[in-house]
């Protein structure tokens, strides 16, 4: 769950960047005068510079140790090419954040940060394909429906060898999978109406071919909706983006006039998104407390639902919410709120992920970004979610046995020889809404007395 803030980071990171500039000036001067006492020069002269003077007094001594290390790297590290000082600064920032021991406080360099911002806005300009890294190659995981990539004929598992004649392999060598995918995406994306030429290899063939694709605005679909048999409405939310609420309203305006008798809300494998979007989604299903936030001082703040237009409110319809271990953050806010405050709602599936912390996102001066944890959240009944998750009313493991037949939705295809798909959780969700059947209780864990063979 995130909040956004377009602000400059102050304090230590600002001081760090300013001090880098101060250091470089001092280092250049030292080299020019041939001072053998370089270490002494750095540690003493930096104290007279504005960057050092602006360092908070309580951490000034600790920062001097950083500059000692910086100076020694500059002076002694063996290299055949100039040091990438920007990479060193970014590495120092990452190291500082890692020392917080919080998985959700993180730094993104400008390229990756720009792509994250575009994704959360719910649209971007490019060809419309999800990428992954396989054996140091950029592979198309799948084209987005109705995107330029799909219309051009790109397929799952196509390997992108070149972008506009530039080979990708040397550019991504040594990068993490995330950074490699971000690097490739930065080359492939571009303004609407421009053309990108991709060199593609389609396994098992070994000979590549070229394809020109005209970029366009690509919407990222986060809401899928269908009317199923027995007048059951089905809505899947895949992520809580800036465009999700509008898409949900559109889906409700299509489904509600068909007079459904029940609703399945599928939040499985939804990793979360914007806090405000979660409040808006909850506002379509009830009015009241959405969650509580607790800050570092222990202050607990109530956050309420954000109601939608009258024709999008579904306050009374029986409802089943599907969750699993991939349901996290904003998904858990919605699941917990519906469970605690909306009568006629049943949670079904598996224990959720347990990500109950709130992050502010700061856009920094070079368009990099900092995501920093500011609070933890609790359900309307004040139950903590962090590291615990939400336990559904009915625990049903995912299974695809033929006895759990359900309609094939979206891009799903039935197994060979069948006309339906199989999904135990959706199957039981539909049965809960249309019959008096309920899933069997899970087998109790064996006690010490009964464990083992007799």
Residues 361 and 2: beta-carbon distance below 8 Å:
yes
Residues 306 and 291: beta-carbon distance below 8 Å:
no
Question: Would you call 338 helix, strand, or coil by DSSP?
Answer: helix
Q: Which two tokens stand for residue 448?
A: 């010490």
Residues 6+ apart with CB under 8 A from 430: 228, 230, 232, 264, 320, 406
Q: Which two tokens stand for residue 265?
A: 């809300």
In 159-287, which residue ranges form alpha helices assigned H by DSSP?
168-172, 177-188, 244-255, 275-283
Residues 6+ apart with CB under 8 A from 382: 292, 300
d(CA 87, CA 89): 5
pLDDT of res. 49: 40
d(CA 217, CA 67): 46
Q: Other CB atoms closer than 10 Å to residue 217's CB: what's the count?
A: 14
d(CA 266, CA 410): 13
Residues 6+ apart with CB under 8 A from 249: 284, 308, 309, 312
Residues 6+ apart with CB under 8 A from 92: 16, 66
- Residue 362 pairs in a beta bridge with 5, 370
Using alpha carbons, select from 286, 253, 290 the residue that is nearest to residue 275: 290
User: What is residue 144's DSSP assignment?
Assistant: P
d(CA 70, CA 95): 14
Residues 321 and 331: beta-carbon distance below 8 Å:
no
Residues with active-site annotation: 329, 355, 359
Q: Other CB atoms closer than 10 Å to residue 59's CB: what's the count?
A: 13
DSSP string covering 389-409, please? ----SEE------GGGEE---
pLDDT of res. 414: 87
Q: Please give the average pLDDT of every successive group of 10 residues along the chain, which has 454 residues.
A: 49 44 42 39 39 71 85 93 93 95 93 84 86 93 89 95 95 87 91 96 94 91 95 97 96 98 97 95 98 95 97 97 97 98 97 94 95 95 96 96 93 83 97 92 60 42
The secondary element (H helix, E strand) that includes residue 137 is strand 137-143
- Residue 348 pairs in a beta bridge with 322, 394
pLDDT of res. 385: 96
Exposure string for 386-419, b = 16+ CB within 10 A, e = fewer: beebbebebebeeeeeeebbbbbbeeeeeeeeee
Strand 369-378 to 394-395 pairing:
unpaired
d(CA 8, CA 23): 22
User: What is residue 437's DSSP assignment?
Assistant: -
Peptide bond into 401 cis (omega under 30): no
pLDDT of res. 388: 95
pLDDT of res. 293: 96
* Alpha-carbon distances of 145 from 150, 254, 257, 273, rounded to whole Å: 7, 21, 27, 22
pLDDT of res. 268: 97
pLDDT of res. 40: 37
- Which parts of 257-318 are beta strand (E)? 262-266, 289-294, 300-304
């Amino acid at each position: 769950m995130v909040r956004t803030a377009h602000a400059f980071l102050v304090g230590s990171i600002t001081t760090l960047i300013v001090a880098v500039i101060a250091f470089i000036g001092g280092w250049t001067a030292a080299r020019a005068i041939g001072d053998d006492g370089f270490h002494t020069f750095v540690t003493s002269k930096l104290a007279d510079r504005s960057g050092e003077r602006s360092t908070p007094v309580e951490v000034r001594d600790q920062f001097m140790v950083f500059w000692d290390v910086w100076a020694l790297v500059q002076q002694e590290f063996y290299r055949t090419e100039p040091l990438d000082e920007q990479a060193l600064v970014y590495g120092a920032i990452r190291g500082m954040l890692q020392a917080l021991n919080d998985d959700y406080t993180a730094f993104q360099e400008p390229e990756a940060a720009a792509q994250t911002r575009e994704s959360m806005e719910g649209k971007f300009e490019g060809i419309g394909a999800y990428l992954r890294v396989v054996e140091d190659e950029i592979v198309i995981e799948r084209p987005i429906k109705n995107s330029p990539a799909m219309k051009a004929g790109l397929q799952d598992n196509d390997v992108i060898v070149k972008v506009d004649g530039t080979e990708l392999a040397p550019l991504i060598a040594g990068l993490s999978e995330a950074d490699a995918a971000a690097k490739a995406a930065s080359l492939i994306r571009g303004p609407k109406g421009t053309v990108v030429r991709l060199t593609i290899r389609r396994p098992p063939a070994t000979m590549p071919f070229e394809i020109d694709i005209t970029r366009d605005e690509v919407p990222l679909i986060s809401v899928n909706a269908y009317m199923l048999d027995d007048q059951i409405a089905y809505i899947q939310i895949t992520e809580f983006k800036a465009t999700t609420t509008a898409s949900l309203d559109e889906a409700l305006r299509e489904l509600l006039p068909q007079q459904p008798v029940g609703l399945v809300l599928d939040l499985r494998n939804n990793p979360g998104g914007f806090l405000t979007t979660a409040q808006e989604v909850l506002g379509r299903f009830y009015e009241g407390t959405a969650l509580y936030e607790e800050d570092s001082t222990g202050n607990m703040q109530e956050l309420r639902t954000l109601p939608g237009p009258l024709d999008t409110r579904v306050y009374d319809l029986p409802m089943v919410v599907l969750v699993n271990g991939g349901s996290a953050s904003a998904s858990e806010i919605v699941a917990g709120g519906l469970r605690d405050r909306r009568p006629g709602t049943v949670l079904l599936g598996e224990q959720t992920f347990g990500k109950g912390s709130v992050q502010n996102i700061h856009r920094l001066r070079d368009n990099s970004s900092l995501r920093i944890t500011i609070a933890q959240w609790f359900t309307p009944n004040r139950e903590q979610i962090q590291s615990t998750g939400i336990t559904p009313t009915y625990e049903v493991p995912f299974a695809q046995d033929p006895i759990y037949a359900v309609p094939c939705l979206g891009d799903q295809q039935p197994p060979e020889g069948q006309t339906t798909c199989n999904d135990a959780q959706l199957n039981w969700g539909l049965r809960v809404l249309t019959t008096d059947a309920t899933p069997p209780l899970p087998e109790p864990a064996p006690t010490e007395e009964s464990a083992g063979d007799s």
